[in-house]
Structure 1
């Protein structure tokens, strides 16, 4: 915990290093061919080709990093036309092309909105278009005003506007703490509560150790008393969602946390399972995805083990995690020079 507290003083500095990627990158070209429709919709190939703000935000971020403004505009314009809410500067979280209407739930997903807002700001920095900056500010302010709450003495990110804050507790997901985005916001807007959210996220991650392997559950219940338990209503697993947590925290400059050490130790085996039940110890009968292995390589200090192009059999989620891990490794390397 002492090492964690020392690190909290440095996480305000943003990671925005230009890692030298360009639009002809084979991994990016492969990604666009497989997961981007001509109208600008990123498809979830493991989930009947639906779309999420998560995927749209990731696509926008990747387009900025690979200096592909035409693709960025396609993804952003589709997102604005199909997911932007009329009442508040957030986005509906899910688009199902097979349903009528395609957007049946107007609730947002905070991690997706964070990526959309951050990507728009980075696009404004890169291409000098104030439209991007204005929309980024509107979304950032909406997140600040509606999705940050104090529970149990912690400044938390609510996963969405509805369904997560209750009398006496809140259900949270540490993989929604997109630390590099929060660091950027904290550096640009020091009068806003982003650094407090970062600090609370680091402290909660340090405490979120459950079961024999001492791992965080994907979904965690935070009581107003400060008690942490795996949240009811979701399988008590470290897995599909929380594999993003070591990506975002390592990328955000926070690595020496005991919980991350526990994750690294759990993954230090020939074929780590895709998930583990933190209560029973049951594990998945299939291994961590290629994207998960890329995060494992980042976490364990082996950036050379991160591939350039996702394999043909990898779905949208795994492929995206691989590209994000590539970018994180490159930016961390540049920042360390």
Structure 2
């Protein structure tokens, strides 16, 4: 541990549906707007447009936004609340909290992965060895609890509850940039295995369909099937929706060309029908007339990965406008994270777009 901490160069320590919530007066910066609107003073991130509950995903998003904007005070408050209320005995985070207690103790692997990434980045950014150590511990828990080896390589399962083969798998949970950040900090070779396995499994998905599904399942032999929901439970069928639209964002920020090519592969299906529908079938046909911020940011990411700078910037501008017109918790998070992923290296990725 001491060697890993020293290797970071640190010298100090301690140091969904439309809603009605709106950003604070005069807040036009997406990061400031998200933190001001959805983070309570104690560090709890509140889904104000979704019955006022809290999920580990939201805590992790706020941590990424806070470290990306250099807001150490907010970061420590959010992580402090998360650690106190959501930390499980196995080191991962409970998924959902409401009305004063955890209501679903299962973990969600994307939240755990994002939070671990944010903690390692915060340790470096704020010169805080304790945050770095917490990030390494959470990252190890992700590897131990939420990954499995398959013939295609190591993959990230949906969470602690996905214990049987075939394993529930969410293509948009995979984060090559997070794998790289955590691998560099820890020296654990399983992160590189996870990057390769995630790439292989998602490439196999895109050999079957034009767009990745919200949910899938992975077999021990590496075969992967699109599914209508988590563990096959979903009332709306197989689709590219509010989960899957994060996939191109995760892969476009990767520093590996093979990963970026997966994001770019989505462009033909996304561009075959105008309107930036929030949900599509896996061939790209719109299933709704609704639009979403994360859907627009996802289109921006795919276009950026394909080298269409003007198209990417157009979708990002539309995303900001949509969030201002119809503010939501989820939209607010991705209005902030999209530009951080696509135009900046502050979160440890390789931006496919030049800074504005």
Q: Does the alignment pair 1:304 with 2:313?
A: yes
Deviations 1:211-236 (A, max 9, x none): 7x622211112222332212322331
Structure 2 gap ranges (5+): 1-26, 345-349
The two structures, once aligned, show a CA RMSD in angstroms of: 2.6
Distance between the aligned counterparts of 2:75 and 2:28, measured in 1? 15
Q: Which one is further off, 35-44 or 119-128?
A: 35-44
Q: Does the alignment pair 1:222 with 2:209?
A: no
| Distance verdict in 2 for CA 1:149–1:238, change over 3 Å | same
Which of 52, 74, 77 is matched with 1:74 structurally? 77
TM-score, normalised to structure 1, is: 0.82
CA positional deviation for 1:255: 5.9
SS of equivalent to 1:278:
coil
TM-score, normalised to structure 2, is: 0.78
User: Paired residue for 1:236?
Assistant: 238
Deviations 1:174-219 (A, max 9, x none): 11112211111223334421111111111111111377x6222111
Checking the alignment, whether the CA contact within 8 Å between 2:175 and 2:250 is kept in structure 1 is yes
Distance between the aligned counterparts of 1:215 and 1:224, measured in 2? 23
Deviations 1:125-183 (A, max 9, x none): 01111210121121111112222211344211121112x2324x112111111221111
SS of equivalent to 2:244:
coil
CA positional deviation for 1:77: 1.2
Which of 231, 244, 247 is matched with 1:245 structurally? 247
Q: Does the alignment pair 1:277 with 2:276?
A: no
What does residue range 61-100 of structure 1 map to in structure 2 within 5 Å? 61-85=64-88, 87-97=89-99
| Distance verdict in 2 for CA 1:133–1:57, change over 3 Å | same
Checking the alignment, whether the CA contact within 8 Å between 2:59 and 2:79 is kept in structure 1 is yes
Distance between the aligned counterparts of 1:236 and 1:102, measured in 2? 32
Distance between the aligned counterparts of 2:250 and 2:164, measured in 1? 27
Distance between the aligned counterparts of 2:54 and 2:354, measured in 1? 36
What does residue range 29-40 of structure 1 map to in structure 2 within 5 Å? 29-40=32-43
Distance between the aligned counterparts of 1:140 and 1:161, measured in 2? 14
Q: Which one is further off, 241-250 or 265-274?
A: 265-274
Structure 1 gap ranges (5+): 1-23
Distance between the aligned counterparts of 2:220 and 2:352, measured in 1? 41
Q: Does the alignment pair 1:319 with 2:338?
A: no
Checking the alignment, whether the CA contact within 8 Å between 2:245 and 2:294 is kept in structure 1 is no
User: Paired residue for 1:260?
Assistant: 263
Checking the alignment, whether the CA contact within 8 Å between 1:295 and 1:322 is kept in structure 2 is no
What does residue range 1-337 of structure 1 map to in structure 2 within 5 Å? 26-85=29-88, 87-97=89-99, 102-162=101-161, 164-167=162-165, 169-209=166-206, 214-231=210-227, 232-234=232-234, 235-254=237-256, 260-268=263-271, 269-278=273-282, 283-301=286-304, 302=309, 303-305=312-314, 306-307=316-317, 310-331=323-344, 332-333=350-351
Checking the alignment, whether the CA contact within 8 Å between 1:249 and 1:255 is kept in structure 2 is no
CA positional deviation for 1:260: 3.2
Q: Which one is further off, 282-291 or 190-199?
A: 282-291
Checking the alignment, whether the CA contact within 8 Å between 1:147 and 1:160 is kept in structure 2 is yes
| Distance verdict in 2 for CA 1:334–1:246, change over 3 Å | closer
